[in-house]
Structure 1
Amino acid sequence: MKKISAVFDGLKFADSTLAYAIKLAESSRALLSGVFLESLLYNSYRLDDLIGSSGLSEVKIKHLLEKDKATRDKSVGIFEQACKKTHISYAIHRDQGFSLQEVLKESIYSDLLLINVEETFSHVRVQPPTHFIRELLAATQCPVFITPRDYQEIEKVVLLYDGKPPAVYAIKMFNYMMPWLRGKPIEVVSVADDGDVAELPDEALVKEFIACHYPAASYALLNGNPEEELTTFLKSRNKHTLVVLGAYQRGGVSRWFKSSMADKLIKDIEAPLFIAHH
């Protein structure tokens, strides 16, 4: 049995993360852990909401704390009922430490971590990739599945490959975590720099490896700037495509998947991303 952890902000519950988590856990017969980050430093209200006509109001503080607790309890209830409805094994963690530290700790003991692309665990709303997501991806101890704003059934998988070990490692992790997607159309995509011959790095070896797991896989060879070419290529695919990236870590050795590449895909395409670093 595998363990999948889905990370939630109980104050801004991400329905798409729940939908993907249920689908993945059900298909993999995995234990689904609902990780609800409830840092004491993060609430739905601001400091000025606590001020009454006579200054700091204990009545307002109590009311707002109770309101937040009720909202978080409701989110946990939605998760629990969804798990019961689909008859999957589940656990609930209500982590009350610092949000990033808690989710990184969860990643040590998980096979896969799911989180929504818009999560910030703060009052500030920013465009993806959020600071929280970037910090998580740089230090996670397991692959991360970034869920888009809306749930879409996965109908195709694109494996991004640049001939470097992190890209192959990500494919291995994807195959380990989601073998039930082997029956879907699989496409391996590689980009050659401008002026270079469009060829697959280590072609014989990678095709031999891919054929062991995805014998019907197709290949697309592109030319140009990897960031621009891949973004344009993936935008031409529909939202039902899952994209597998080879790395996201500080000082990554891959010539493609440094933070800028992953950031661009998170920002520009509305599709789920499977990201793993070696």
Structure 2
Amino acid sequence: MQKIAAIFDGLRFSESTLHYSILIAKQQNAHLTGVFPQDITYNSFNLYQLLKAGTDQATLAQLEADDSEKRENAAGAFEAACQKAGIAYSVHRHRNISLQEALEQSIYADLLIVDARETFVHDVTKPPTRFIRDLLTDVQCPVLIVPTQVLVPPVFSDIDRVVLLYDGEPSSVYAIKMYSYLLPSLQALPTTVLSVNREGNYLENKGLVKDFIKRHFPNAGYEVMEGVPEEEIVSYMFGQTAGAIAVLGAYRRSTVSRWFRESMADVLMQTLSFPLFIAHNK
């Protein structure tokens, strides 16, 4: 892998995004680009409420200046961490709508890394946020969704176990392919192929998938079970150690289809605190 793009909200700097992006950049000897969108539609304060309350222009100007300082400090923290880690890096501070900037960066990156709770709006919402949903729908490269770190000081676990989610669909195989291509240093980790079927305890296209997995993850084990995937997969992942990562295809269905059935990625983001490697073929 050559280039990683890490998406940062300079007003709510994500320690998780910083940690995982530097970790993977070092492991893969990749160039890391810190993307700090300078979105003119987004502030740390509620502009509508302030204007409604009759806040004067001088106060608004000071609030905007404070936000600019926060963004600069965040970019500075990213640069300092990259220099300390000894990795190649660059910083992008384009004045663009946050989602548009992230999608444009994804065209020219091998991997995008972003916090599951990223919103780029004043209000805080639970994952999956609107920003993450829209990003995953149109992103042009695989994405590593990382969990928000809530402890102070932050405590992180290195990735030490991999769960490959396989449902017999091309999107799940594609995600496993992209994971193996982009993160070869993680292929030697303990790896499990997890498959859950609503009707029957069997592995879809057993011969083909086992031959494929053997070429990329020769020591992988298998967990095959019957049940509701959204329930069984979440239950299985809850039993994993803190250093686990899940690999899955997602957001292949149409927008209308997703109104009626959540993506597995949505379910996992809502319930788990593991990194998710997501890739989907168009």
Q: Bigger shift: 131-140 or 95-104?
A: 95-104
Contact 1:42/1:122 (<8 A) preserved: yes
Contact 1:143/1:274 (<8 A) preserved: yes
Q: Corresponding residue for 2:83?
A: 84
Q: Corresponding residue for 2:8?
A: 8
Q: Corresponding residue for 1:172?
A: 177
TM-score of the aligned structures, taking structure 2 as reference length: 0.91
Letter in 2 for 1:191: V
Measured against aligned partners, the alpha-carbon deviations of 1:207-243 in whole angstroms (never above 9, x if no partner) come to 1111111111000001111111111111111221000
Contact 2:111/2:141 (<8 A) preserved: yes
Q: Bigger shift: 14-23 or 261-270?
A: 261-270
Contact 1:137/1:249 (<8 A) preserved: no
Aligned counterparts of 1:70 and 1:51: Cα–Cα separation in 2: 25
Measured against aligned partners, the alpha-carbon deviations of 1:136-160 in whole angstroms (never above 9, x if no partner) come to 0111000010001133211100000
Q: Give aligned pairs, total.
A: 270
Aligned counterparts of 2:92 and 2:262: Cα–Cα separation in 1: 29
Letter in 2 for 1:205: L
Measured against aligned partners, the alpha-carbon deviations of 1:62-84 in whole angstroms (never above 9, x if no partner) come to 21111111110000000001111
Identity percentage of aligned residues: 45
User: What do you get for the CA RMSD once the two structures are aligned?
Assistant: 1.7
Contact 2:116/2:269 (<8 A) preserved: yes
Q: Are residues 1:204 and 2:203 paired?
A: no
Q: Corresponding residue for 1:187?
A: 192
Contact 1:35/1:93 (<8 A) preserved: yes
Name the SS of the counterpart of 1:95 in structure 2: coil
Contact 2:157/2:243 (<8 A) preserved: yes
Letter in 2 for 1:181: L
Measured against aligned partners, the alpha-carbon deviations of 1:30-66 in whole angstroms (never above 9, x if no partner) come to 11000012210101122244678xx442221221111
Q: Corresponding residue for 1:142?
A: 141
Letter in 2 for 1:87: G
Contact 1:104/1:140 (<8 A) preserved: yes
Q: Segments of 4+ in structure 1 off by > 3 A?
A: 48-52
Aligned counterparts of 1:200 and 1:44: Cα–Cα separation in 2: 49
Q: Corresponding residue for 1:154?
A: 159
Q: Corresponding residue for 2:36?
A: 36
Measured against aligned partners, the alpha-carbon deviations of 1:164-199 in whole angstroms (never above 9, x if no partner) come to 1111110110011110011210000001213x2x11
User: How big is the shift at 1:96?
Assistant: 1.6
Q: Which residues of structure 1 form unaligned runs of 5+?
A: 253-257
